[in-house]
Structure 1
């Protein structure tokens, strides 16, 4: 888990792209707000997930609102979610 995700936040979902080198985590904070963060995993990082943006600072009232914001911010996410729903 990245240090960008606070240990008090509950990760609700982790969505990877088809290549398994990009990921978005959706989480809930103890105050009831929701958020997301985008990550990458590269060989030069020893395979660890590294945050690629500062999305985790934004707070949303619902998981659905966080997902909608993530889809708007992360270019590959809509396609990954569509592929997941076809499984």
Structure 2
């Protein structure tokens, strides 16, 4: 099953990121990542929330906001 990242948000430090993805079946999921200096700037998966699937992007965003309040704050800055 293919997916496309439709939204990728970094925190103010540039060390944490969340990706919301849309799958071929129209469902949405998200994952969180971190970037550590010892990893040479590569993103490392922190939490994989993709076992829970959402019927809409809105529902996925609401779940992200619940788990990661900083994401809403970052989006409001845009």
3-state DSSP class of the match of 1:32? Answer: coil
Q: Which residue of 1 aligns with 2:49?
A: 55
Q: Which residue of 1 aligns with 2:33?
A: 39
CA contact (8 A) 2:20 2:29 kept: yes
CA contact (8 A) 1:38 1:74 kept: no
Residue 66 (structure 1) aligned with residue 51 (structure 2): no
Structure 1 CA distance for aligned equivalents of residues 4 and 48 of structure 2: 18
Structure 1, unpaired ranges of 5+: 1-5
**Corresponding pairs, count:** 78
Superposed displacement of residue 60, structure 1: 0.1
Task: Give structure 1 regions of 4+ aligned residues with deviation exceeding 2 angstroms.
Answer: none
Q: Cα RMSD over matched residues?
A: 1.3
3-state DSSP class of the match of 1:50? Answer: strand
Structure 2 CA distance for aligned equivalents of residues 75 and 48 of structure 1: 23
1:33-78 Cα offsets, whole Å, 9 max, x none, are: 0011111111011111111112122100000000000010113212
- 1:29 maps to which of 23, 27, 39: 23
Higher strand share: 2
Structure 2, unpaired ranges of 5+: none
